[in-house]
Structure 1
Amino acid sequence: MQNIFLKRNKRGQLLWRMPLISVGVVLLCSIAWLIYANKTTAQAKTTENPAASKEPVYELSAVDVANAETRQISSQLALSGALAPETQVTVRSKVIAEVAEAPVQEGIAVHKGQIIARFTAADLHARLITQEAMVDEAQAKLALAKKNRISNETLLKQNYISQNAFDTTHNGLELAQASLKSALSQKEVAQLALADTQIRSPIDGVVSKRHVQPGEKVSPDTALYSIVNLSHLTLEAQVPASEIPRVKAGQTVLFRVDGFGAREFQGKVARINPAVEAGSRSMIVYIAVDNPDTSLKVGMFAKGNLVLEKTASSAVVPLSAVRQVNGADVVYQVVNEQVKIQPVKLGLRSEDEGLAQIVQGLEPGALVIVSRLDTVKAGSKVRLPKADAKPAANTDSSAASAPKA
C-alpha cells in the first residue's frame, strides 16, 4: 500500500510541474523572439541611417538657371515727341500780279526748280521792252560821246580848242557811260520781275499747303505755297533736365510710330535746346531722322528709347542672378551639379533689358541660378534640367522643387 501511495504522489507532482515547464518554454521563446526582433530593427536602422544622413539634392527647372551670354547691352532713356520737318519753306510772291495758274495741290511731290505757279505778265513784258529801249538809247549816246572825245582830243593837241572844251566833252562821255549802266540795271530789274511771274519750288519736297487760287491778286510777300522736305525729319522729344548730362550728340534713338506695327525707326541726337521749359522743367532734344521712303509724315507721334551707353560684346547675365554677399557682388554658379558662390565685377546694368555686364569673374557659357531659391545655399547639391529644356533668360521664383534623396 505504501508503495502504491508513493507512486501516486510522484505522479501528482509530475502533473503539477508540467504547466510550469510549458510556461517557461513559452517565456524563453518570447524572449528569444524579442531579442531577434530588436536585433533586426537595429540592423535596419543601421542600414537606413547613412541614406538619411545624405545631403538633399535640389532639382532645378529650366526657369531656375541661365547661361552667361556674349552680347552687347545698353542703358536707355524712354522719350516721346512729334516729328517735324527739317526743311520747310513758304514760297511768297515778289511782285504785284494776278495768279494765272496754280496747278500743284497739297500732297504733290515737287522738285527744286519746278514751276508750280504762273502770274499774268503783260505789264512786266511792256516794262522790259521799255527798259531795253532805254538801254539802246544809252548805248547810242555813249557811242556819240566816245566819238566826240576822240575828235576833241585831236583838236586839243592842235590847239584848236581849249582845255575846258575838251574837259566838257570828256565829262559828257562819263555821263553817257553812267546812263548806260543805269539803263542796264533797270533792264535787269525788269527781267527779274518778269522771271518772278514763274514761281519755282526752291527745294525738293511735298506741297503741304496751297495758299492762292487762279485769278487772285497778289502783292510782294504774299504766301503762295508751303513745301516740306520729308526725306529728313526731326523728332522733337522732351527729356527731364536731370537726364540731360547723360545725353550727347550722336547718340542713337530707336522709336516706333502708331500705325506701323512692330517696325522700328532710328535716329541720332543732333542738338539739344539750351533752355529749360518753364512748365515741365524739361529740355527739348532734337533727333535727326532719315526718311528716304517718306513713310513718316510731319506731326506723327513717336515713342522710343535713347541709347545712353552701349557696351562691347562681353559676358552678360540676368540681373536676377546677381546677389549681394557681405557687400560684394556674386552669382550662384552651378559647377558639377553643385552650387558655388562666384564673386564677379559688374559693368553696365541695363534695367530695360534686365541684364548685367560681367567684367571679371565669369566666363561666357557659365551656368548660374537666376531664381531666388531660399533653400539652396553654397555647396548645395542640385540636379539640372534635362538637356532638351532651355535655361531661362531671366526669372524670379520663390522656392526650389522639393529635395530628393
Structure 2
Amino acid sequence: MVRAWYLIAGFCLLLAGCSDAPSDSSNDQPGGERHTPIAAYEVTPRDLSRQLTLSATVEPRIQVNLTSRTQGVVSSIAIEESDFVEAGQTLAQFDVAEQRAELRRAEARAYEAKLEFERLQQLRESNTISIAELQRAEATYAAAAAERDLWQTRIDFGAILAPLSGIVTGRYIEVGESIEAQQALFSLANMDELVVRPGVSERDIRHLSVGDDVPVLLDGLPDQEFRGTIRRIFPIADRSSRLLRIEVLLPEEAYEQGVRPGFLGRLPLTVDPRPNALAVPAAAIGEDAEQRYIYRVVNERLERTYIEVGITRGQWTEVLSGIDEGDVVLATNPIDMRDGTAVRIVNWRG
C-alpha cells in the first residue's frame, strides 16, 4: 500500500514538471499576447472594366437584289459576277421587238387623236361644234397618249440598269432564258461600306453610343486590326435572344485591303470602363446593419472600417470610399474577427 502511494506521488510530480515546460510561442509576441495569423491584401488600383467579345459576319451595308419588272426573253447580258458597275449602266437587255411594234402603233393613234383634237379646237372657235364634242376629242387624245407612254415604259423595262455603283455579287439569268415578272436577275453591293452587325445584351448596350470607335479582328486576316465606328444602334431587341444589334462600319478602304463579305469579325470591347478602381477581395467584405465594412491592418491590429462599395467583377469588389491606395486589409471572411484583434500576416493575396 505504501509502495502504491509513492508511485502515485511520483506520477504527480512528473505531471507538474511537464506543465512547467516552455510552450510554443510562435504565435505570441513579447509580453505574452497571442497574434492571430491572417491573410492580407495591399490595396492597389485594379482594372475592373467589363471585357466583352462580340462576333458577326461582314456584310455590305447597301445590297440590292434586282428583279424583272416585265416578262420577256433575255437577249444580252453585259456583265459577270465580281464586275464593278456604275449607277445607270446597262446590265442586261430583254427582247422588246414586240413592244416596239406596239409603241409605233400607239404613237400613230396618239398622233391621229392629236390632229382630230386640234381640228375640233378650230371649229369650236367659230362655234361650229359643241363644247361636249371638243371634250370627247380631248379625252380620246389623252387616252392615246397614255397608251403610247405605257408601251414606252414597257420597252424601258426591257433594259436592266444598275441602280447604284458597286460590285455584282450575283447573276441568276442566262441569254435566251424566258423571264417572268418579279424574277430575280442580279444582286449588287456597295463594297465601300462594309459593316458587321453583332448583338449586344440589354445590360451592356447602355455603355455603347453611336460614333464610338471599336476594334474589329477578322479570322481571314489575322495579322490586321481594323478600327470600326458604331454607325447606328437598332431600336428593338430580338424577342428570342433579347439582344440589340449594333451596326459597326468598317473603314472605306477595307475591301481594298482584303476584307470580303462573309468573313467572321470579332469585336473585343471594353464597356463600363474602370481602369484604376480601388478594390478588395469580395470575400473580405462584411455587412453590419446594412453597412458594409472591412478590417484594415493598422500596427498589427484589426481596425473595422465602414466602406461604400461599387460593382463586383469576379472575386473583386470596387470600393468607392473608406480606403486608400496602400492600405493593408484582411483578405478573408471577417465574420469571426473583432475590432482590435492582434494579428500577424502569414499570407498575402492578390
CA distance, structure 2, for counterparts of residue 128 and residue 292 of structure 1: 49
Which ranges in structure 1 are unaligned for 5 or more consecutive residues? 1-49, 154-165, 277-281, 383-397
Shift in alpha-carbon separation, 1:300–1:338, aligned structure 2, 3 A: farther
Shift in alpha-carbon separation, 1:326–1:319, aligned structure 2, 3 A: closer
Question: 1:67 aligned to 27, 41, 44, which one?
Answer: 44
Matched AA of 1:102: I
CA distance, structure 2, for counterparts of residue 212 and residue 126 of structure 1: 26
CA distance, structure 2, for counterparts of residue 346 and residue 271 of structure 1: 33
Shift in alpha-carbon separation, 1:302–1:120, aligned structure 2, 3 A: same
TM-score with structure 1 setting the length: 0.57
Written as runs of structure 1 = structure 2, the 5 A alignment for 1:121-140 is 121-140=96-115
Shift in alpha-carbon separation, 1:249–1:337, aligned structure 2, 3 A: closer
CA distance, structure 2, for counterparts of residue 55 and residue 250 of structure 1: 51
Shift in alpha-carbon separation, 1:67–1:126, aligned structure 2, 3 A: same
Q: Per-residue deviation at 1:266?
A: 5.4
Higher helix share: 1
Written as runs of structure 1 = structure 2, the 5 A alignment for 1:184-333 is 184-230=145-191, 231=193, 233-237=195-199, 244=202, 246=203, 248=205, 251=208, 256-261=217-222, 263=225, 265=228, 267=230, 269-276=233-240, 282-293=241-252, 294-295=254-255, 297-304=260-267, 310=272, 316-318=277-279, 320=281, 323-326=284-287, 329=292
Alignment correspondent of 2:120: 145
Q: Per-residue deviation at 1:208?
A: 1.9
Matched AA of 1:196: F
Shift in alpha-carbon separation, 1:141–1:362, aligned structure 2, 3 A: farther
Alignment correspondent of 1:108: 83
**DSSP 3-state at the match of 1:399:** strand
Question: 2:309 aligned to 325, 346, 349, which one?
Answer: 346
Matched AA of 2:98: D
Matched AA of 1:104: I
Alignment correspondent of 2:347: 399
CA distance, structure 2, for counterparts of residue 217 and residue 260 of structure 1: 42
Alignment correspondent of 1:90: 65
Q: Per-residue deviation at 1:99?
A: 2.5
Shift in alpha-carbon separation, 1:378–1:54, aligned structure 2, 3 A: closer
Check whether the contact 2:59–2:194 (CA below 8 A) recurs between aligned residues.
Answer: no
1:344-389 deviations in Å (ceiling 9; x for gaps): 32223344xx8654432345xx225599599xx988799xxxxxxx
Which stretch of the first structure deviates more once superposed, 258-267 or 206-215? Answer: 258-267
Q: Per-residue deviation at 1:341?
A: 6.5
1:157-207 deviations in Å (ceiling 9; x for gaps): xxxxxxxxx43xx22211211122112212222222222232122244432
CA distance, structure 1, for counterparts of residue 85 and residue 296 of structure 2: 64
Aligned residue pairs, count: 301
Q: Per-residue deviation at 1:210?
A: 0.5
Percent identity, aligned pairs only?
21
Check whether the contact 1:323–1:329 (CA below 8 A) recurs between aligned residues.
Answer: no
Higher strand share: 2
Shift in alpha-carbon separation, 1:301–1:373, aligned structure 2, 3 A: same
Matched AA of 1:214: V
**DSSP 3-state at the match of 1:289:** strand
Shift in alpha-carbon separation, 1:84–1:272, aligned structure 2, 3 A: farther
Check whether the contact 2:295–2:304 (CA below 8 A) recurs between aligned residues.
Answer: yes
1:29-84 deviations in Å (ceiling 9; x for gaps): xxxxxxxxxxxxxxxxxxxxx9999999x9x9xxx756337x8x544665544455
CA distance, structure 2, for counterparts of residue 339 and residue 104 of structure 1: 81
Check whether the contact 1:113–1:200 (CA below 8 A) recurs between aligned residues.
Answer: yes
Larger radius of gyration: 1
Shift in alpha-carbon separation, 1:250–1:323, aligned structure 2, 3 A: closer
CA distance, structure 2, for counterparts of residue 121 and residue 337 of structure 1: 98
Which ranges in structure 2 are unaligned for 5 or more consecutive residues? 1-28, 334-339
**DSSP 3-state at the match of 2:141:** helix
Written as runs of structure 1 = structure 2, the 5 A alignment for 1:169-188 is 170-188=131-149
Matched AA of 2:149: E
